[in-house]
Structures are given as structure tokens and as C-alpha cells.
Chains A and B, each alone.
Chain A
């Protein structure tokens, strides 16, 4: 653990990026960061800079694709969108997370012992 505030782990960050893109559709880097911050209820401090290496990784792995476009205010920005492989990966990871969460929930809750 390096910083005081919790740094989002790379893996969960990637998942959040994919989910964001699924929900909202093609979005630029700033928008993705904003959205993640909002959705996670400002609990996770996303140093916006850390997003870009993660975006690059996702792009290299083929889950997202990028394209230069124009924002609402006529500003040039690089837009990212989900690929089909990305969609499948998202579904897979979401399933995994849910399964993990369920197991942990059972494990941590004060249930009666067998």
C-alpha cells in the first residue's frame, strides 16, 4: 500500500471502465473518470491520470477501441468504445465477481456453525 487514500486496483478499474462504456456508450477519458467517480460514490479516489495507462492496457488487449472525435462543445477528444470481445469479457468478469462476493458474504456473515 503506497498512498493513504485507497488506490483502485488495476483489475477493478478495468472492470469499471468496461461497465461504464457499456452503460453510457462511447466516451472520452475524462468522461469515464468522472462517471466512475460519481458511480462509486466518491469513495474511491481516482487520480484521473491513472486511468490512461489502464485504458491503454484495455486497448492493447482488444477490449476497447479508440477513435478521435469531437465533444459536445466542439472540442477534439479521444473516444473509447466497447468491442465485442470487451462485452464478453465484461460479462465474464461480472459473473466472477458476483460469485466471489456471494461466497465471501456467506463466509463473513455470522451464520450458525455446522
Chain B
């Protein structure tokens, strides 16, 4: 208790110091007077009385100092002194301060933003009970996680003992009619145990249970997501029991998911969740998919039994999966298929953060980003450190005086650390603000909730502190070990500034890496934009349709053809058509084929890419016809089956001969090739062209609905979206049950398909520039210091007849040496790193020197420029002044 009282009083002693100083002086004075009086009474002479009293009192200054120490909190006061001094120093060098704070802010801010992203993508577990018990069951194809088929889901999970429950889910988007209004929502179809396995409690109503998945088509109920409930219904409790319809089927809302739950896949917060039993209704298809071993559409997760582990579950899965594929293989007669089936692999993954889908797509770029950002931050630290070093050399005299007056070297170290702490603190604060901005800018591309949280703040603080120590420790140690004597005598000997140069070389190396990276990423995007995609992206409008009912085949055909005909006769429209899978959609469809006159080897891939198109498609999308003819209205359901193939197909199966007239068979349908078109990208811009065959939409097999197609229009000059309203009306006119959905330009679609690469390019360019700037400043700072250190030397040289050119050469030579070292080290680092990021790049052969050369040139020019200014200062040294200061 007394301690607390003392501390509080001491804290109070920090204030009104002057008043208390007065009081102490008065008390000491009175003490003296009393003593003198006593002495006088004892018979001493006045001067003697005074002298004795003073001696007995002891050192007044020391007493005052000890008193002051006791009165306040000395460590706090000296710290505050350091801070004020530091602030004053920083204010006197506004340029340096601004740059240092800015680069620190950028480094810390970017670091925080990326960490936020990583945290939300990878680190935050699902808001469920015991998330570490959750696992994902996945097929593994080419190192990527792939979905399972329904038979796989039901059979595998039905027999696994190491799990207590499992569920399957699939993403679905639906257009629902609610209160007479149509709206598009994101959705999910889930199996019965979904909410049980996750162990969630509803925010309102109830959640889906296994009964809802028992009878196919028998549970027209739905759960809505909490955010959807808030956004669309303002959390109205009357939403329970509300009905909406999809594709003509009426559903009832029976519950709401809890607030903290945003789905099992990061970035997909489903508005509505449907039972798997209603899948057929929602998709408008038959239930064949439930028997197909190779219709892969379900993502599967499960919860481990308490005593089980991922390893145990995986071992169990391997056994079951082995049995499954053997069974599957035994049902096929085709020996190639047989082999392929037996090669399949499945795996159990720990999945406390949910389905690892977004992860495989974005993990690598995020790590690369984190690496780049760390590099920049290190650079900034090095910069600040070397600038502080340079300034500490300038402040040599001041430091020596302080040391001579009795300052401990610890105190000096603390001074420098305080200065860099202030910088780091300012930088960190600005960095947090920047991080907010960063997240919002990035958030548009990833739709993740990226609000900074306590983890982030703690991370920022730690990073800032680390920065501060890194940046301040070298100058601090250097200052503390200063040689007092020589500095006081103003003899400019001492440190040769090696550390400064080493830091600059390090910076140059880091800059080199970032510049090379920037180069590669930007070039990747440029290459993707300029490659020959095989289609024409400008001026094309695309849209889909949805209907409230399923149409009979005859009616469907009629509607489709009417729609396309009317679209193409619109004024301003060159041509219109339709396609099932539009280019660079990310989707892919292939079928095993038999080609006339070609026999597949045992290990050959016997599939061809496959697509269904309407007449006029190639013209609309800008893919030229090479030979033969396009589909036309003569190709009907009953006319001979036809097909069009691309160049790759022709080359692959027929070599130099023309494929026209030859036959291709798929699924027991034999078609005759009537045309060859130019190669065009299918799944995405990066994938290589594959042999592709197209069939006319009148001759497709299986179910057909107008909703299966994406309709394309080629428009005359101008923004294709200006046709949206017209097209919308036109669609309704064709049939009152039809609605247009998702109108977009093809150009936008293409851009979106390479959004990852575009982000990398933008960020790469930004970091490259940043690195350049920081390195340039570093060089400038160090060279300025070097020049000021060698002023005498320059003075002597000039006096002895050196020309301006000579001096400049002298200075720049140092810069060049540092540059060569830095660029060399940086290039090696860059080579290693680019190998690691190969799958982010596009169009680069093994050792493409262009990027390196360009980066080196840029860096070299920047270095020379940065060194030139101090060089000029060197050449202008007045020999008389310089020599007089010897």
C-alpha cells in the first residue's frame, strides 16, 4: 500500500517541478540559516560559521539531484527527454523524416494488410465446435484437390469408422422469386448431416437435418444465411415460414444460420442453403448424377471421432477408396479406362479452416506477396538504419561531448533506439491506416471480410518494434563506441562507413529481386493480353437466361432459335449465337471419342474437348473458319449428325489430310466433320489448346433447356452493355417465363479470368517502384555521408589539379561497385525465387534474361542518379575551406 502511494506521489512529482524546486531550495536555505545561527551561538565568527555549516550540509547540487530523483520517476523523465530530443532531431530533418516514415509505413502497412489476408484465408478456423476435428475428403488430381461423385461420397463416408459424421456440399446459384420479385442469390446444396457435423445452432428457426435429405424431392425447405437475413429481411423474425419459388418449385424458409458462420468455403457466404434431396429440382436435371461414378461435383467434409486422427482416417480412406475404384474398374470393359480408373487417388486433409479450395488458388500468390512485402520492409529498415548511421557520423561531435560529460553509452544507445522507435511508431500508425486502405482495395477481388483485429494489431506492433530495433541498433552501437578524443579534435578519421555500404549493397540486392519480379509479373499480364486467344473479345455481350419452368424439347428448340434469330436482327448487332461453355469460363467438358482412321495407343488420351454451339457462333466470337462450313439451320435434329473441329484436332488426328467428311464418334453418336475452325482458348488463357470438337445445339444428346446456354452478341462499336435493356425485353417477348441474367461484356469476363495475374502485376510494379525509390534514397544517404567524410581529401585533390570530372568519377565509381555487387547477389536470389513462382508466370522459357537485364539497367540508372547529387557536391568543394578544417 505504501508503495502504491509512493508511486502515485512520484508520478505527481513529474508535474509542477518549478514550484517544488523552489520549496526545496527554501528548505535547504532555512536549514543553512539554522545551522549558521547555532554556530554563531557556539562562538564561531560569521564567515567560519557559514563555512562549517556549508561543509556539513554537503554537496547541495547532489542533494538536489538525489531529491529530484526521489521526487519524480527518473527513468520516465529521461525517456521523455529522449523522446523530445528525438522529435526535435526529426523535425530538423523533415526530408529524411518524411521519407523514413513513408517507407516504414508502406512496409509495415503492406505487411499488415497481407497478414490480414493470410489470417482470414488460412488461419482463422471455422466458427464451429472443435474445428480441429474437421477433415476434408478429396480426390487428388495433378496435385489439386477435386470434388467427389455422389456414389463416392455415400459409399466412402458410409463405411468410415474414424469419423462421427460427414456431409457433402456443392455451390449453386439460384434465381428465386420472392414476393413476386426475382433475385439472384448465392446458394449451397448440402447433404442431411451438414449442420450436425458442424454442430451449429440456428440464429432462428431450425437447421437442416438428415430427415430433410431422406426423400428425393420431398423437402422443399431452405435455410437462409445470417448476412442474407440481415441484408434482405432486416432480421425480421417473420421470415420463418416465408415461401419463395425456384424453377417453379415452392420452398419454405425454416431457419437462419448463426451470425458467425459464413459457410465452409472462404469467400463463399451462401445466401440460401438447400437440401441435397432437392438438387434435381434446383438444377432441372434428372437424378442420373447420383449413380455416375465420374460425375464429380461434391465437396466432402467430415468430423473425426475424438480418438481418431487425420492419419488414421486417411489410412481407412485408402483402403475404402482402393475397393471403390477396383469395383468401378471392374464395371468397365475398356482397358484404357480400366487403367485410368485404378490410377485415381484420394486423401484426407485436416480442414479446421474449411474446404481448401480458395487456398490452393490463392495461397502461392499470398506467400509471394508476403515475401515481397517483407523484402521491402527489410529494405526500409536498412535504409533508415543507414541514414541514421550517416547522421550519427555527422553528429560525432555532439556525441563525443555527451560522452565526455558523462553520458553512459547505454544512454546514447537508448537515444538512438528512441529516435528509431519514434519513426517506427509513426510508420506503424500510418501503416495501419494504409493497411485498411490496402484491404479495401484488395477486398474487391476476393470478397473476404478483412477487418483488422487484435491479432493484426499485435502483429503490426511487433513488426514495428522489430523494425525499430533493426533500424536503430546499428547506429546506436556505432555511436556508443565513438572515439571521444579524435572526434572532439575535429579530425575526420574513424569509421570508414563500411556498414553503410554493406547496407546499400543489401538494399540493391533486394531491389533487384523486386524489380525482376515486377518485370516478370507485368510481362506475364502483357503476354496474356496480347496472346492469340483465337477469339475477339471486344464488342461482345454475353448473358444467360433462367426460366420458371422446364420446357418440353420441341418448345425449347423453338424458343432458342427464336431468341437467337431476334437477337441477330437487332439494329447495331452484327451477329448473335449461343454456346454451352463460353471461353475462359474456367469450365471444361470433354468426352472420349473414336476418330475414323485413327487408333489410340495404350497410353494415349482418348478424349477430346467438347462443346455445343449454335449456328453463327464462330463468327460472333471472332474465331475464323478455316475450311468447310459452319453449322446452319439445315442441321436439325433429324438431319445427319455433324461436327466441327479445331485445327489442333485436325492436325492431331489427320495430320496433313483434310478432316472434312471424316467421322468422329462420341457416346455412340457418329458425326461427320463439316468444318475446321482456328484454335481458340477454351478453359482459360493459360491452358494450352487441346483438340476440340463442336456439335450443333439441335443435335445435342440428353436433356436440353434454353437455360443451358450462354447467348452471345457481337455488337457494332460502343459499349455492348447499352443493349442490356433491349435484350431483356426481347427475352421476355420470346417467352413470358424467361428472364435475362448476368449480362456482361466478354472483355470483362476475360479480364476476370486473369485477375490473379493482374493483381500480381499491379502489386509487383508497385513494389518494384517502391524498392527503387528506397534503394535510391539509401544510396543518396550513404554517398552524401561518404562525401562529407572525405571533404578534406577532395579539397586536396582539387588543389592538386583534379578536374570536376575526376571528382565525379571518383564518387560514382563507388556507386558502381556497390551496384555491381548488389545486382549480382540480387540476380542470383531472383533466379532462385522465380523458379519457385513458376506457376504464376506465363510464357517464359527457362532462362529468359530480358527481365534481368531490364531490371539491372533500371536499377543502375537509379543508382547513378542517386549518387550524382552528392558527387556534384563533392566537386564543388572549395579547397581552401576544406583544408582549413583539417
Interface residues of A in 52-105 (CB under 8 A from B): 52-53, 56-57, 60-63, 71, 73, 75-78, 85
| A75 engages B67 (CB within 8 Å) | no
Q: Select which of B30, B33, B38, B59 is within 8 A of A49 by beta carbon.
A: B59
B60 at the interface (CB under 8 A from A): yes
Chain A facing B: main interface SS: helix
A78–B33 alpha-carbon span in the complex (Å): 13
| Minimum C-beta distance from A9 to chain B (A) | 15
| B27 engages A78 (CB within 8 Å) | yes
A1–B6 alpha-carbon span in the complex (Å): 27
A49-B70 contact given A62-B5, A75-B30, CB 8 Å threshold: no
Give the chain A neighbours of B655 by CB distance below 8 A.
Answer: none
Which A residue sits closest to B2, measured CB to CB?
A61
Give the chain A neighbours of B70 by CB distance below 8 A.
Answer: 53, 56-57, 60
Give the chain B neighbours of A47 by CB distance below 8 A.
Answer: 56-58
Interface residues of A in 21-77 (CB under 8 A from B): 28-31, 34, 47-50, 52-53, 56-57, 60-63, 71, 73, 75-77
Give the chain B neighbours of A28 by CB distance below 8 A.
Answer: 30-31, 34
| B57 engages A48 (CB within 8 Å) | yes
Count of chain B residues with Cβ under 8 Å from any Cβ of A?
Answer: 29
| A30 engages B58 (CB within 8 Å) | no
Chain A interface size, as a band, is: 20 to 34
Chain B 31-66 against A: per-residue CB contact (8 Å), 1 yes, 0 no?
101110110000000000000000011111011001
Q: Select which of A31, A48, A61 is within 8 A of B6 by beta carbon.
A: A61
Q: Which of A28, A53, A61, A75 has the most CB of B within 10 A?
A: A53
| A52 engages B63 (CB within 8 Å) | yes
Q: Select which of B6, B26, B30, B38 is within 8 A of A57 by beta carbon.
A: B6
A62-B66 contact given A48-B31, A77-B34, CB 8 Å threshold: no
A75-B34 contact given A52-B28, A60-B6, A60-B9, CB 8 Å threshold: yes
| B66 engages A53 (CB within 8 Å) | yes
Q: Select which of A49, A60, A62, A77 is within 8 A of B63 by beta carbon.
A: A49
B171 at the interface (CB under 8 A from A): no
A31–B9 alpha-carbon span in the complex (Å): 26
Give the chain B neighbours of A49 by CB distance below 8 A.
Answer: 57-60, 62-63, 66
A47–B66 alpha-carbon span in the complex (Å): 13
Give the chain B neighbours of A75 by CB distance below 8 A.
Answer: 30, 33-34, 37
A56-B71 contact given A48-B56, A50-B58, CB 8 Å threshold: yes
B758 at the interface (CB under 8 A from A): no
Give the chain A neighbours of B31 by CB distance below 8 A.
Answer: 28-30, 48, 77
| B30 engages A77 (CB within 8 Å) | yes
| Minimum C-beta distance from A37 to chain B (A) | 9
Interface residues of A in 7-29 (CB under 8 A from B): 28-29
Give the chain B neighbours of A73 by CB distance below 8 A.
Answer: 34, 37
| Minimum C-beta distance from A100 to chain B (A) | 21
A50–B31 alpha-carbon span in the complex (Å): 13
Which B residue sits closest to A57, measured CB to CB?
B70
B10 at the interface (CB under 8 A from A): yes
| Minimum C-beta distance from A15 to chain B (A) | 15
| B5 engages A76 (CB within 8 Å) | no
Give the interface of A toward B (CB within 8 A): 28-31, 34, 47-50, 52-53, 56-57, 60-63, 71, 73, 75-78, 85
23 contacts between A and B (CB under 8 A): A28-B30, A29-B27, A30-B31, A30-B34, A47-B57, A48-B58, A49-B57, A49-B59, A49-B60, A49-B62, A52-B63, A52-B66, A53-B66, A61-B5, A62-B5, A73-B34, A75-B30, A75-B34, A76-B26, A76-B30, A77-B31, A78-B23, A85-B2
The 8 closest A-B pairs by CB, nearest first: A49-B63, A49-B58, A47-B58, A60-B6, A61-B2, A30-B34, A30-B31, A53-B66
A52-B27, A52-B63, A75-B37 known; 12 new pairs, CB 8 Å cut-off, are A28-B30, A28-B31, A28-B34, A47-B58, A48-B35, A49-B57, A50-B66, A56-B67, A60-B70, A62-B5, A77-B30, A78-B23
